[in-house]
Amino acid sequence: MNWMTRRSFPHGIHPQPAKDETQREPIRQFPFAPLMVIPLLQHIGKPAVTVVSEGQEVVRGQLIARPDGFLSVAMHAPASGVIRRIDRVPTLLGSMVPGIYLQPFPASTQEVCEGMPCPVETATPEEILAAIQQAGIVGLGGAGFPTHAKLQVPADKHIDTVIINGVECEPYLTTDHRVMLEQSADIYTGIRYVLKATGAARAIIAIEDNKRDAAEYLGAMLPSDLPVSIELVTVKYPQGAEKLLVSVLLNREVPTGGLPVDIHAAVINVATTAEIGRLLPRGRGIQERVVTITGPAVRRRGNYRIPIGTPLRFALETVGTSEDLSEVLVGGPMMGQAAPSLDIPITKGTSGVVAYTERETGHQPPIYPCVHCGDCLEACPMSLNPSQLGLLAAREHYQAMVDDFHLMTCFECGACSYVCPSHIPLAQRFRVAKAYIRKNQASVVRSQAS
Amino acid sequence: MDERPNKTLKISAAPHLASGASVERIMRNVVLALLPTTGFAVYAFGLAALLSLFTATLTCVLAEHLLCKLAGRPSTVKDWSVVITGLLYGLTLPPGLPLWMVCLGGLIAVAMGKALYGGLGYNLFNPALVGRAFLQAAFPTAMTTWTPAFSADRFTSLPGSMLAPPFGTPHYDQISGATPLAAMKFEQTLSDTVDLFLGLTSGSLGETCSLLILLGGLYLIARRMMNWRIPAGIFTAVILLSGLLHLSDAQAYPSPLFMLFSGGLMLGAMFMATDMVASPITPLGCYLYGVLIGALVVVIRLWGGMPEGVMYAILLANAVSPLIDRLIQPVAYGTRRSKDS
Ligand code: SF4
Ligand code: SF4
């Protein structure tokens, strides 16, 4: 096939992809941990509400917590077993949230229980959105925004194009790549649901140019009645960011503070789409996901279908790690977070686990003042001025960062920190500044409300 | 399953990857790019150049080290930026300048040009030019007295003027004719452009061979360690402006090629104006800054009282650079108008 590579967004960076070691590894099923840790908040919004009690036996796939309001999703048992405790569980952010400890039955067949199917032919858009919420589906790319909320089109707006995001521009990660190579039928079924739910006329599957095999395979498997096109985009980080993808593919720019729906588009991760196509026809809930476990400290690197709630410790023990394991990143190395402990579980948003050794983390280069080289400006995909933002951040002039230099447009991609020859922790400081601003705004809203 | 990850984990904030770029690496490469020019200076002016450049660099490095210690900061000589300052400063000096003046100017360059502002990253002006500007103001005669290039005994003897005692009047054994620019200005004679390009004329230590300077600059541009827009802006402005004037009156105004390859233009455009700290940060800002320098150079050279204007043009543009940065900011995503909706 002859592909035309699309133009790309301005700026961006080219980190080493580091994907070779896992992109040819087929997805393998993971064993069950002796104790699963299931946070009730694995998404943006309100925690789910438990519908089981301590000591109760549950079947794999059974509903264990229901959504609490619109911005919330259901949780399902990742294994047949017994609910040991309903308590607080550790999370990636270091905080404790309500959650469930589940002890799987060791010798069980682990048959998955099914629920009410949601047939794509007859279901209404509302029914599809409700089914997605009941299936517990959130953005599997990492953001964790409830998918049904993302797909719901406000009454005064419309969506003409759905972009299926298979870009996977984070170094090391290859889950989306494998899903595209192994779950084409699920993806296309998922697209049928998504098109129907949003009323969009067409879908575009966006794939980075280093995954031509996936593009070719999906192209070959494309059902003739589906209004889907497959587009290759330039290999560049952060090509997969949804606002950039919209500009690249549709030549439309999401206005500041807006969402893709404002310009009639929705962007949804390809693995999330596959999950919709896999779960909804059988009325199942999400209880496992594909995770790339890789990095210099990992022995058996690869892509694994891992039950949600599997503690990182068990996951790393299963694949084996080297002696000098030093830091464990959840997500990719550019935007992922360092795990505060290995007791935290794999959640719905965990696309990868990257383990570093002392070699990657040992060297802390000195930080110099900004030398005005301008490299960060040429890296920033949002065309911000990270140098200026960095100077203001160091002085904690957070409001000026927002008012004069578009701080809230920064999505913490880390490209600026990556290139800075002075090793200034730019994105890191912007994260702090944004959190500060959000907290202040929230308290302003609260005091105005009272 | 015997491999138990059980240690305390490091926890750092994303991103967890870096490009490997560093200030030291950029600075070392700039020094590298200056080496051919430095070598040519020694070849053309012999021991005098060697001693001047060595003294200039050493003075600057020592000054930075001592000033850091005085200010109670860790010494910053290891970032290599002061080596560039010293070397560049040395390259702008006329050969045969008394060594005590070389020392004094170097001290001024680092103290007033850099340390006063807070060190690396904070200087408003290119420190090397601050040092040179001081000498120009304090010792105008010494700074415009040129010894000839390629003298026969350049590797065996030093010009007597170099060892003149502080504050005395230096005695020059040999004085060359005027530099090409001075000849153009005061005697209305033009040097051969090829000679200028190859560096066969007289002038400051490091400004004579345009070819090697250009090669050094191109090396840095290829390694993405120099903003090519600045020299591009300068060259464009100089060529356009002097080209128009030359077309209007070829007798009164020299050709653009002469303007490009004479005096300190090449060294200034490639290595002085491009001081990252003292130049604007946005691409458009860099063009404007370059054009401003180019225009000022032509104006000063052709209508000012001095034969050479590169130094003042760059210093003036340095002063304007923060203003350019304030006026010209990148256009953030989401603030542009959508193209088709
Ligand atoms: S982290 Fe923010 S400022 Fe830095 S490159 Fe990314 S979007 Fe731009
Ligand atoms: S990359 Fe770093 S040193 Fe260069 S302008 Fe940006 S903040 Fe300053």
Write the DSSP assignment of B278-338 as a string of letters: TS-SSHHHHHHHHHHHHHHHHHHHHHSSSS--HHHHHHHHHHHHHHHHHH-----TTTSPP
Q: Are residues B35 and B152 in the same domain?
A: yes
**Highest mean predicted confidence (pLDDT) among A293-297, B138-142, B153-157, B186-190:** A293-297
Single out the residue in B176, B211, B234 at which a domain terminates. Answer: B176
Single out the residue in A282, A308, A329 at which a domain terminates. Answer: A282
Q: Which residues contact A82 (CB under 8 A, 6 or more apart)?
A: A55, A56, A57, A58, A102, A103, A105
Edge-first strand listing for the sheet containing A63-66: A49-50, A63-66, A75-76
The pLDDT score that the predictor gives to residue A334 is 95
Q: Indicate which CATH number applies to the domain containing A160.
A: 3.40.50.11540
Q: Nearest residue of B to residue A369 by CA position?
A: B121
The pLDDT score that the predictor gives to residue B339 is 45
CB contact under 8 A, A383 and B330: yes
The Cα–Cα gap between B182 and B191 comes to: 11
Mean pLDDT of B128-141: 92
Q: Are residues B214 and B91 in the same domain?
A: no
The answer as to whether A340 is a domain residue is no
Of residues A134 and B159, the one with the higher pLDDT is A134
Q: Are residues A382 and A256 in the same domain?
A: no
Q: Are residues B312 and B171 in the same domain?
A: no
The answer as to whether B5 is a domain residue is no
Q: Which of residues 198-227 of B touch A (CB under 8 A)?
A: 227
Q: Are residues A19 and A135 in the same domain?
A: yes
The answer as to whether A424 is a domain residue is yes
ipTM computed for the complex: 0.88
Total count of domains within chain B: 2
| CA-nearest residue, atom 7 of ligand 2 | A387
Q: Are residues B142 and B253 in the same domain?
A: no
CB contact under 8 A, A381 and B12: no
The answer as to whether B8 is a domain residue is no
The answer as to whether B320 is a domain residue is yes
Q: Are residues B151 and B210 in the same domain?
A: no
User: Which structural domain range is residue A383 located in?
Assistant: 375-449
Q: Are residues B183 and B161 in the same domain?
A: no
- Angle of helix B210-222 relative to helix B23-45, nearest 10 degrees, comes to 170
The answer as to whether A200 is a domain residue is yes
The answer as to whether B335 is a domain residue is no
Single out the residue in B148, B176, B204 at which a domain terminates. Answer: B176
CB B309 within 8 A of CB B292: no
Mean pLDDT of B78-98: 92
The pLDDT score that the predictor gives to residue B209 is 86
Q: Are residues B200 and B210 in the same domain?
A: yes
- Angle of helix B81-91 relative to helix B47-70, nearest 10 degrees, comes to 140
Q: Is A289 exposed, middle or buried (0-12, 13-18, 19+ CB in 10 A)?
A: buried
The Cα–Cα gap between A446 and A441 comes to: 9
Would you call B183 helix, strand, or coil by DSSP?
Answer: helix
Which of B1, B19, B227, B284 is best to mutate for the A interface (most A CBs within 10 A)? B19
Q: Are residues B112 and B160 in the same domain?
A: yes
Residue B56 has pLDDT above 90, yes or no: yes
Nearest-Cα distance to chain B for A273, in Å, is: 27
B156-191 residue pLDDT tens? 877 877 887 777 777 776 666 667 777 776 666 666
Q: Are residues B251 and B120 in the same domain?
A: no
Q: Are residues B136 and B213 in the same domain?
A: no
Distance from Cα A422 to the centre of ligand 2, integer Å: 7
Q: Are residues A243 and A380 in the same domain?
A: no
Query: A55: which 2 tokens?
Result: 């000591």
Q: What is the DSSP-derived secondary structure letter of residue A421?
A: T
The pLDDT score that the predictor gives to residue B340 is 43
Distance from Cα A330 to the centre of ligand 2, integer Å: 27
Q: How many CB pairs under 8 A join A and B?
A: 190
* HSE value, Cβ hemisphere, 13 Å, CA-based, for A404: 16
The answer as to whether B198 is a domain residue is yes
Instruction: Give the Cα-Cα-Cα angle A137, A140, A144 (nearest 5 degrees).
Output: 75
The letter for the amino acid at B116 is L
Residue A235 has pLDDT above 70, yes or no: yes
Query: B85: which 2 tokens?
Result: 């300052």
Residue B4 has pLDDT above 60, yes or no: no
The Cα–Cα gap between A178 and A25 comes to: 8
Which residues on neighbouring strands pair with residue A265, listed in sequence order? A161
Residues of B within 8 A of A419 (CB-CB) are: 19, 21
CB contact under 8 A, A377 and B282: yes
Single out the residue in A282, A313, A340 at which a domain terminates. Answer: A282
Atom of ligand 1 nearest to the CA of A412: 1
The answer as to whether B206 is a domain residue is yes
The answer as to whether B55 is a domain residue is yes
CB B69 within 8 A of CB B49: no
Mean pLDDT of A133-144: 88
Q: Are residues B229 and B170 in the same domain?
A: no
The answer as to whether A344 is a domain residue is no
CB contact under 8 A, A371 and B120: yes
A383-420 residue pLDDT tens? 999 999 999 999 999 999 999 999 999 999 999 999 99
Residue A1 has pLDDT above 60, yes or no: no
Q: Nearest residue of B to residue A404 by CA position?
A: B329
Kindly tell me the sign of the dihedral angle through the C-alpha atoms of B45, B51, B52, B53. Answer: positive
Query: B212: which 2 tokens?
Result: 């090697």
| CA-nearest residue, atom 8 of ligand 2 | A370
The answer as to whether B301 is a domain residue is yes
Distance from Cα A369 to the centre of ligand 2, integer Å: 8
B190-245 residue pLDDT tens? 667 777 777 777 778 888 788 999 999 999 999 999 999 999 999 999 999 999 99
Of residues B81 and A142, the one with the higher pLDDT is B81
Q: Are residues B160 and B229 in the same domain?
A: no
Q: What is the DSSP-derived secondary structure letter of residue A53?
A: -
The Cα–Cα gap between A346 and A191 comes to: 26
Mean pLDDT of B77-104: 92
| CA-nearest residue, atom 4 of ligand 2 | A373
The answer as to whether A116 is a domain residue is no
Q: Are residues A278 and A381 in the same domain?
A: no
Atom of ligand 2 nearest to the CA of A426: 7
User: Which structural domain range is residue B150 located in?
Assistant: 22-176
The pLDDT score that the predictor gives to residue B175 is 66
Q: What is the DSSP-derived secondary structure letter of residue A146?
A: B
Residue A142 has pLDDT above 80, yes or no: no
The answer as to whether A300 is a domain residue is no
Residues of B within 8 A of A422 (CB-CB) are: 23, 121
The answer as to whether A439 is a domain residue is yes
The pLDDT score that the predictor gives to residue B337 is 58
Single out the residue in B176, B206, B223 at which a domain terminates. Answer: B176
Q: Quickly count helices (H) and strands (E) in chain B.
A: 14, 0
The pLDDT score that the predictor gives to residue B173 is 66
Single out the residue in A267, A282, A297 at which a domain terminates. Answer: A282
Residue A202 has pLDDT above 70, yes or no: yes
The Cα–Cα gap between A36 and A102 comes to: 5
Total count of domains within chain A: 2
Residues of A within 8 A of B338 (CB-CB) are: 252-253, 255, 263
The number of beta carbons lying within 10 Å of the beta carbon of residue B54 is 16
Confidence of residue B2 (pLDDT cuts 50, 70, 90): very low
